[in-house]
Structure 1
């Protein structure tokens, strides 16, 4: 290996690490607020990328019908709850958000010439389809069992992952797809050639991480999520709704996942089940951070990306094994240096 090859591998590692950092942050956030080890995080990556592929091909994305179905079901559940509690005034808002939004979006997608729209509008439409699935998923699946032990929530997450992979095969088929690059520009930095898409990925990741930092530090909803992550019972006693915190957390996780899929779709072929492996590498980075520290998780993600890139050069057949083996010494170290804490009831 010479210096130029090392620079190219480092570039690939940092690009991949930026995506893993976003997914790791989402996993840490979801676990801190809701105690859910969010295995389906990677499915939002695949859904976001492949939904954009369908829109660019001029087809109404099949994921739209999953959104419509989940929205109608959530509307029925929330409407029954509002009627049972005597809060009839909530019915209009419940129906407008849960059922009205997906149906209005479906009408819009059928009316628009999807294939000829600007790329920015196509990306926005893909996000409008995928991101609302996050809070709907929490409302229908996790909110009814929010007080269950972590093991039960993990089993449910595995079931949701399997279901989303199966639906992905139904929606998108078994063939992989790519999207056009956001930019065809190329820049020479000494001996290294940097593509415009790489800059897009790294820059968008940094912007999103900074935006999340500002959200958690400067907005009332962000501070509410921080309080819930620090102490769920204390936050509840201070009037912070656990249901609202859960929905907002899953909204952010879905946004991060879908946007990550959109960013990597031009540089790697995305299949219906690609998201699981990408999400798993983000999970390794989150474990490095102990599912608690955002900065350490981000640093762990860059480490995972670099390890993957250099492993692909030295031992490409074993690169996944090498990456996932990283979790063993981390878990051993944490088991020896941390004290067991009983789960909150």
Structure 2
């Protein structure tokens, strides 16, 4: 291997590592606030890429009807709660988001012409899929929010299996790839950098900086940080853990869908591709101890570079090299961390 090949492999590793960094940050965020190991994070990546591919083909994606169905079910649960004597405050806003918004979005998709710009298609993809995040929390996680981490993990596995099956139903077994956001090409020495790679790295960096500003400067971001540190303390200060959970899942869904939109022009995405991508993001999150955003992001870049070099030296075993990375990390953490009971 000469220097030029090493630079090319590093370039590819940084591009994929930027996506893994986003997923790792989302996984750390969800676990820190809700104690949920969010296995379905990768499914949002696949759903984002394949939903946008269907929109580009002039088809209405099945994920739209998933949004309608989940919204109707959430509205039904809210109605039952009110009938049983629950508070009516916020019911109108809830019905607006769970019923009126999905139906209005469906009407808009059927009324719009089949040909739109790629930016409009990306916006529609986000509009369809991001609301699935809080709806998923409302339907699956909120009823067991006080359960153990094991119970929440079992729920995550069930949702992952369901989303993979629905992905096969919505998109079929064939993979899809979308057109690049930019056809530009840049040459830096031996490196040939595509415009889409620039999009991936710049968008990932911008989103990471945006999340840092959100958590450091905004009231809601500080409230999420407080909830991650002490759920009971945040509740006593007036910040609802339910709202924190929904907001966290909004951010996780947005990050996952945006990641899918960004990588769809670079690789063919299948209905079950998201699990492997999400698992590599999970490796990076483990490197960060499911607690540190900067370390998780750095770990994601390490995972991306290791995967790139492994593909060159032994492509058949690249996944083995990536997932073996988690073993020394866990051993080191077991030796340097003290055990904490879950109810502490």
TM-score class, shorter-chain normalisation, is: over 0.9
Q: Judge conservation of contact 1:82–1:90 (CA < 8 Å) in 2.
A: no
Structure 1 pair 220/85, CA: closer, same or farther in 2 (3 Å)?
Answer: farther
Matching residue of 1:273: 272
- Distance in 2, Cα, partners of 1:289 & 1:88: 42
1:328 Cα deviation from its structure 2 partner: 0.3
Q: Judge conservation of contact 1:79–1:94 (CA < 8 Å) in 2.
A: no
1:80 Cα deviation from its structure 2 partner: 2.1
Which residues of structure 2 form unaligned runs of 5+? none
Matching residue of 2:15: 15
**Residue pairs, 1:161-240, within 5 angstroms:** 161-240=160-239
- Distance in 1, Cα, partners of 2:87 & 2:2: 69
Matching residue of 1:102: 102
Matching residue of 1:76: 76
1:98 Cα deviation from its structure 2 partner: 0.8
Matching residue of 1:49: 49
**Residue pairs, 1:27-176, within 5 angstroms:** 27-114=27-114, 116-176=115-175
Tell me which moved more, 210-219 or 50-59: 210-219
1:302 aligns with 2:327: no
1:88 Cα deviation from its structure 2 partner: 3.1
**Structural RMSD (CA):** 0.9
TM-score by length of 1: 0.98
Q: Judge conservation of contact 1:44–1:254 (CA < 8 Å) in 2.
A: yes
Q: Judge conservation of contact 1:75–1:94 (CA < 8 Å) in 2.
A: yes
Q: Judge conservation of contact 1:225–1:245 (CA < 8 Å) in 2.
A: yes
1:86 Cα deviation from its structure 2 partner: 4.8
Structure 1 pair 89/284, CA: closer, same or farther in 2 (3 Å)?
Answer: closer
Which residues of structure 1 form unaligned runs of 5+? none
- Distance in 2, Cα, partners of 1:132 & 1:333: 38
Q: Over residues 54-75 of structure 1, what are the superposed CA-to-partner deviations in whole Å (9 max), with x where a residue is unaligned?
A: 0000001110000000000001
1:219 Cα deviation from its structure 2 partner: 1.1
Q: Judge conservation of contact 1:285–1:300 (CA < 8 Å) in 2.
A: yes
- Distance in 1, Cα, partners of 2:85 & 2:330: 46
Q: Judge conservation of contact 1:304–1:323 (CA < 8 Å) in 2.
A: yes
1:91 Cα deviation from its structure 2 partner: 2.8
| SS of the residue 1:44 aligns to | helix
- Distance in 2, Cα, partners of 1:322 & 1:240: 43
| SS of the residue 1:315 aligns to | helix
